Amino acid sequence: GNSVTQMEGPVTLSEEAFLTINCTYTATGYPSLFWYVQYPGEGLQLLLKATKADDKGSNKGFEATYRKETTSFHLEKGSVQVSDSAVYFCALKFVQGAQKLVFGQGTRLTINP
């Protein structure tokens, strides 16, 4: 079946550190890939997305590149801030069929000043 695997958390970094959160997927076909962020007490917000191989999604300093050969969509940011503390979810969705998002287990990120 279709699934998403994220790096285990929690992740704790100091402000201005480099961030990588790994995400790999298993899918029959070529899904669109997403990163969502969940701040405390809030719903999920779309952070970035990529719809085909080699696409790079970017937003608020975060980037992720759709790598078909390694079935990966790792999230990166060059210099994190305290305000980036949240839970990050990698997800996939297919163009055809049910428009359901399939999520990874989430990675809790804490940034210390």
> Applying CB under 8 A, which residues contact another protein?
32, 36, 41-46, 89, 93-106
Nearer to another protein, 2 or 17 (CB): 2
Query: In this structure, what token pair is assigned to residue 63?
Result: 């980037």
In angstroms, what is the minimal distance from the CB of 99 to another protein? 5
Q: Which residues fall within 8 angstroms of residue 107, CB to CB, at 6 or more apart?
A: 6, 7, 8, 9, 10, 11, 21, 87, 88, 89
In angstroms, what is the minimal distance from the CB of 78 to another protein? 25
Nearer to another protein, 82 or 95 (CB): 95
Which of 83, 78, 73, 77 lies closest to 110 in space, CA to CA?
83
In angstroms, what is the minimal distance from the CB of 22 to another protein? 16
